[in-house]
Amino acid sequence: HTSVDNVRELIQNAAYRPARARFKIYIIDEVHMLSTSAFNALLKILEEPPSHVKFIFATTEPNKVLATIQSRCQRFDFSNISPADIIAQLKKILSQEKIGFEDDCIVALARLANGSMRDGLSLVDQLISTGAEKLTTGMFEEFLGQPNREKVYELLEKVGLSDSGATLACIDNLLNSGMSCVSILDSLVEAVRDMMVLKASRTDNQSLVILTQAEKDTLLRIADTFDIPALVYDVTLLEKLRWGVKTSDNPRALLEAAMLRLAMSEQFMSIPELLGKRVEEHKSKMVEGLKKKIETKTELRTQNSEHRTQNSEHRTQDSELKTLPPIFTGGAGIEEIKENWERIVERARGQVNSRVADLLKKGVPLQLKGNLLSIGFDKNDEFAMKLCQSNGRAEVIEKVLSDALGVKVKPAFELIDNGGKAEQKPKPRGAKASQKTINEAANTEAVKTILSELDANIIEVSEENPKS
């Protein structure tokens, strides 16, 4: 009766006063199951209820009841009845009815009642209906479908001893006794929880665990083979497994695999170990990545350093001059320099390196004023001229030219427009001869004889252009 039509019918009946009693009392159990439209229909009569009508709403999930409904009600929270009170009441009732019972059976019934006296009495009625003269633990397990707790404890003991074969045998024994995988898991979760509480608290608080003294002693003995973190993990694993078993086509395989996992836990890595290993792997990857980055940067720096070293070596090579004999002794004129420019360039190639020689080869001597030698470069070779003017190389060229000419000269570089070749002007008739011409004339036999006989020197040699 959760639909809006049921609520409307209730509202219509509530309008009439009771025939004999003073109030009409409507009790709606599990009120949170009402639909939203039914709640809204009920809200109107709750806002202005008739004086002869009382509503009692019962629910196990008050959070699902609409806030507008709760605001118009008085709320009373009923707590669970303690296991000790349930045990005492059940014993009292059975004693009055002159029905025999075992204390362990009553404890098991109180545990299964889960804080509800109504459920406890219902369980007692089921056992009494069997016609037995005395309620025993065996009846409780047989007629209520509960696994034998001794067998469950034996299973946990084998798990604690890491005996995988005995663990599988205990599971098979429980299943063959008619227990389902779900009921076995329920009992296991409850037993492991009791061990966890007993090991953590070490108290006899009856509200924490509902056990007989024999069961408590057994669980404390078994709990010695477990530590508290392992028990916490076991409860979590078994609870998750319970939901998987309900929907599995092969629940036995899941149950056996889980129990073997617990029994052989030392052969499996724990969650903290797995997380630690994962963290270490992540750190290792980060370190490797950083190492590669550092190595890459170091390699780039090394390459740059090598490049700078090579450039420095080039400059050093440019500055390393070999000792070669000069082409001229005591200097030379511009015409002699022009005539012997290729010899000067080749001498530079042998004295320094081909780089300096190739640069000088692109230039042509233009004029010599005092010790300033002008060297011209075609506009297309402007870059080569700038290289000659660069720091360090200009000094090397100055030293090369000075060594070749036999006197100190300073080069000056400039651009010219004649395609990189100096203009060759014809020598005027009677022009002063070069030192080379004088030396050649002095080496002839006739001139040597004349100079020796007259004790004379050659002042100049006059050259005549041949007649055409």
- Name which of 63-67, 99-103, 192-196, 321-325 the model is least confident about: 321-325
What is the per-residue pLDDT for 263? 85
Distance CA 380, CA 334 (A): 24
pLDDT of residue 355: 80
Residue 126, both tokens = 């089921």
Residues 210/111, Cβ–Cβ less than 8 Å: yes
* CA distances to 188, 206, 330, 462 from 465, in Å: 131, 141, 28, 10
Distance in angstroms (rounded) separating the CA atoms of residues 408 and 398:
8
Q: What is the pLDDT of residue 381?
A: 84
Look up residue 162 and give its two tokens. Answer: 């890491």
301 three-class SS: helix
Q: Does residue 100 have a pLDDT over 80?
A: yes
Would you give the DSSP letter of residue 81?
P
- Sequence-distant (6+) residues with CB within 8 A of 205 are none
pLDDT, one tens digit per residue, over 263-275 is 887 655 555 555 6
**What's the CATH code, domain 85-267?**
1.20.272.10
What residue type is assigned to position 355 of the chain? R
86, 99, 121, 178, 282 from 93: Cα distances, Å:
11, 9, 9, 32, 65
**In the chain, which segments carry CATH 3.30.300.180?**
334-416
Tokens of 50: 């008739």
What residues does CATH 1.20.272.10 cover in the chain? 85-267
| pLDDT value at residue 253 | 92
Q: Are strands 100-101 and 410-416 parallel, antiparallel or unpaired?
A: unpaired
- CATH architecture of the domain with range 334-416: 2-Layer Sandwich (3.30)
Instruction: Identify residue 151 by its one-letter amino acid code.
Output: K
Element (H, E) at 376: strand 372-378
At 278 the three-state DSSP class reads: helix
Superfamily of domain 4-70: P-loop containing nucleotide triphosphate hydrolases (3.40.50.300)
**456 near 447, Cβ under 8 Å?**
no
Q: Read off the pLDDT of residues 9-38 as tens digits, 9 standing for 90 and up.
A: 888 888 888 888 899 998 988 888 888 888
| Other CB atoms within 10 A of residue 376 CB | 22
Per-residue confidence (pLDDT) for residue 23, from 0 to 100: 92
